[in-house]
Structure 1
Amino acid sequence: MTSALKDLSDAGVSVWLDTLSRERIISGSLAELISSRHVVGVTTNPTIFRDAISHGTEYGARMSDLAVRGVSAEEAVRTITASDVRDAADILRPAFLASYAGQDGRVSIEVDPHMAHDTTATIAEARHLAWLVDRPNTYIKIPATKAGLPAIAETIAQGISVNVTLIFSLARYRQVADAYLTGLEKAHAAGRDLSQISSVASFFVSRMDTEVDRRLDALGTPEARALRGRAAVANARLAYEAFEEVFSGERWNRLLRSRANKQRPLWASTGVKDSAYEATKYVAGLIAPGTVNTMPEATLLAVEAQGLAAGSDVRSTYDEARADLEAIERLGIPYTEVVQQLEDEGVAKFQESWDGLLTATAAQLRTGTHRLHTRQ
C-alpha cells in the first residue's frame, strides 16, 4: 500500500509541518516525521511558540541562563525562537540540499506582528532575524498587509528569502506576487544571484470557511446551507489560477532567464475548524503541482490514515470556484468585506499571541531567577 503523503509529494505538493517546539527537536519527533512521513519543511508563528514555551519543560535551563544575564523578555524570545528555528533548519538541511533550487527543507520564523503596519521596522526586523538564525534554509515571515508589501519587495531585494503570511484575498495575493517580482528585479539590478532567493505565499484557507459559514448559517436558507464549506477551497483554487497567470508572463520570463525561482503558493491554516468536515478537506481539495501544504500534525496523520480520494485537477475547477464565490456574494456576503475582516483579525490574533509569548517568557525568566537564588 502506498502512502498518501508520498502520493501527495509525487503530485508536486511539498508536505510541511505547521508546528515546532524544543521537545519536538530533542525527542527526535521532527526527524522521525521527516524520515517516515515525507515532511520537508516547518512553519512557525507566534501562537506556536507561545504554546511551546508556555507548556514545554525543555526551556528551563536556557531560561535560567538568560535570567542570570538579566535579559528582557523580548530578547529572550528572540534568542530561544531563533535557536529552535536554527536547530530545526539543521535537521532539515538534507531535504534542503536535495530539493530543487533549495526550495524545501526550510523553516519559517516570523517578524514581530506588532510591526505589521510599519514598513521600515519590518525590513529591519527581517534583516535581524536572518542574521540571528544564520541558516540558508530559513524563511522570514512577513504579513501581507499594505505596509508589508514594500517590506517584502525590499527584503527580497536584499537577498533574504521570505514567507509571505496572512494572505486571504485574491487581490492581495496578486499584490504579493508583484512585490516578489519587484524585489527580484531590484536584486538582479544589484547583481545578486536570483537562484539563491526563494519565497512562498501563504494563502490561509480554513478561516475563510469559518467566517463565510457563520454568515451563511445566519441566513439559514436552503441556498445558504448548500454553500457551506465551499468558499475556502474556491478562494484558494482561484489563487492558484492567479499564480499560473503571474508566473507565465513576459515579466516573469525575463527573471526566469536569470535563474529566478517561482514564489510557490503555500496552503496555510489547513486544519479543519468544523467537525462536520473531513479532516483532510483542505489537503484533498488543493492538490496542485508546485505548491506547499503546511499541516498541523493531526491533519498530517489524518492524511496518512485516511488517504486522499482522487479528485479533479485544481486547474479544471476554476469556473466552479468562481461560481461558488459569486453565489455567496449574491446572498449578500461581500467578498471584500470578509477578506479584509480576516486579515485584520489575523494580525490581531498574532499580536495577541505575541503578547502571550512575552508574558509566558517573562514568567519563566522569573522562575529561572528564583531557581538560581534557591541554589545559592
Structure 2
Amino acid sequence: MSDRLKTLADAGVSIWLDDLSRERVESGNLATLVAERSVVGVTTNPTIFAGAIANGERYDAQVRQLVEKGADVDEVIFELTTEDVRNACDILAPVHQEAAWDGRVSIEVEPTLATDTEGTIASAQRLWQAVDRPNALIKIPATREGIPAITAVIAQGISVNVTLIFSVERYRAVMDAYMSGLEQARDAGLDLSTIHSVASFFVSRVDTEIDKRLEAIGGEEALGLRGQAAVANARLAYAAYQEVLQSDRWRQLAEAGANPQRPLWASTGVKNPDYSDTLYVTELVVAGTVNTMPEKTLDAVADHGEVHGDAVTGTAAEAQRVFDALTAVGIDLDDVFVALEDEGVEKFVGSWHELVETVRGQMGAAAQ
C-alpha cells in the first residue's frame, strides 16, 4: 500500500476513484486499488462510461443480447451502466460493511434532465431500484431544478451524490435541501441512519475559469492571484459546512440518527501544468471529507504527494481575503459561478450525447 495514500487516509480523507469500467471490475483491478491504494469508493459519469464501452470488449456480449431483444440505445446504456455499478458495489461491500459512509459507487441521472425536477426524481428512483445496493449513490446535479429533486429523493430514503456544485451559495442550498429531505424522511418514520449523501464541490474548473479572466485583466496584481481561487472556494465551502454542523437544526437531525452530508472534492485533476499535480488533494486535506481522483492524480499523490495534516480548518478568513482580492482586481465572482454552472450542465449533457453515440456504434457493430 502506498504510504502517501495511507497517510491521506489516516488524516480522515476518504479516497474515491473517479473512474469505472467492466475491465476494472472483472480483471480484479478495482479490488487491487481497494486493497493496495486505500481506495474506498468510486464515482462515474457518462464520459467515463463512454470511454470504457468504446475500448472494452467485455461489453460486447451484453450489447449483442440486448440488441437481439430489441432494446433501444437508452435501454442498452441503462443496462450496461447499472450492471457495472452493481458489480462495483459488490466489490466495495466489505468496505461499506466496515464503514457505512464509504464503499460507495455513484451513478448519474440522465443529464438531459438537469432542468427537469420531476424527470430527475423518476430517473433517480429507477436507478436506485435497478442497482439495488445499499452502497450506491445516485448523482443529481445542483441546478435550481435539481435542488427540490434532492429533497424529494432523500425523503424517500435514496442516498445521493449531489454534483456540479461551484459556489458556496449553491452549496448552502444543497445542504438545506438535504436537511429538508431528512426531516421529511424522519417524519415519515424512515431510519435516517441508512440515508447517506455527499456534496461534490468542483475544484479545478474554478481556477481554469478565473485564471483565464485574470490573464485577460493582466498586470502584476491580477496575475499574482492565479491558482488561488479554487482552493479558497473549497475552503470557504468547508467553513459553510462547519456552520451547518453546529446549527440546532442539524443537531436535531443528528440526534435522530442522520449522517452528515460530507463534502466531496471533485474535479481534482490539475489542468494547468504550472501547478503541482497534487494541488487539489494536498491543499484540501481535512478529516470527514472525500477526495475523488482520476487515476493519474491518484498515482501522483502516491508518488510524491506531501500530506501535512489538516490544511482546511481555520482557513476561511485567509480564503475570504483571496476572494476580496479577486473582486478588487475586477473579477465578477457571481458571473464566474453562473458561467461555470452553465458550462458544467453543457458538458454534462455533451458527455451524455457522447455516451449515446458510443453505444449506438457498438449496437450497430453487434447487429452485423
Q: Would the TM-score normalized by the shorter structure come out above 0.5?
A: yes
**CA-CA distance at 1:312 after TM superposition:** 5.8
Q: Is the CA contact (8 Å cut-off) linking 1:11 and 1:288 kept in structure 2?
A: yes
Corresponding position of 1:14:
14
How does 1:123-272 map onto structure 2 within 5 Å?
123-272=121-270
How does 1:91-106 map onto structure 2 within 5 Å?
91-99=91-99, 102-106=100-104
Query: For each residue in 1:113-168, what CA deviation from the matched residue of structure 2 results, as whole angstroms up to 9, or x when unmatched?
Result: 11011111100110000001111100000000000000000000000000000000
Corresponding position of 1:355:
353
Counterparts of 2:91 and 2:307 in 1: how far apart (Å)? 32
3-state SS in 1 of match to 2:58: coil
Query: For each residue in 1:277-317, what CA deviation from the matched residue of structure 2 results, as whole angstroms up to 9, or x when unmatched?
Result: 11100000000111000000010011010031426631121
Corresponding position of 1:369:
367
Counterparts of 2:189 and 2:236 in 1: how far apart (Å)? 34
Corresponding position of 2:33:
33
Q: Is the CA contact (8 Å cut-off) linking 1:285 and 1:311 kept in structure 2?
A: no
Q: Which runs of 4+ in 1 moved over 6 A?
A: none
The alignment of Structure 1 onto Structure 2 pairs a total of residues equal to 368
**CA-CA distance at 1:38 after TM superposition:** 0.3
Amino acid at match of 2:211: D
Corresponding position of 1:374:
none
Counterparts of 1:248 and 1:18 in 2: how far apart (Å)? 31
Counterparts of 2:207 and 2:258 in 1: how far apart (Å)? 34
* Alignment RMSD (CA, Å): 1.1
TM-score using structure 1 length: 0.96
Q: Is the CA contact (8 Å cut-off) linking 1:170 and 1:235 kept in structure 2?
A: yes
Amino acid at match of 1:45: N
Q: Is the CA contact (8 Å cut-off) linking 2:11 and 2:310 kept in structure 1?
A: no
Counterparts of 1:94 and 1:312 in 2: how far apart (Å)? 28
Amino acid at match of 1:161: S
**CA-CA distance at 1:218 after TM superposition:** 1.2
Corresponding position of 1:346:
344
| Aligned partner of 1:323 among 315, 321, 339 | 321
TM-score using structure 2 length: 0.98
Q: Is the CA contact (8 Å cut-off) linking 2:116 and 2:145 kept in structure 1?
A: yes
Q: Which runs of 5 or more residues in structure 1 are unaligned?
A: 371-376
**CA-CA distance at 1:320 after TM superposition:** 1.0
Q: Is the CA contact (8 Å cut-off) linking 1:200 and 1:263 kept in structure 2?
A: yes
Amino acid at match of 2:222: A
Percent identity between matched residues is: 55
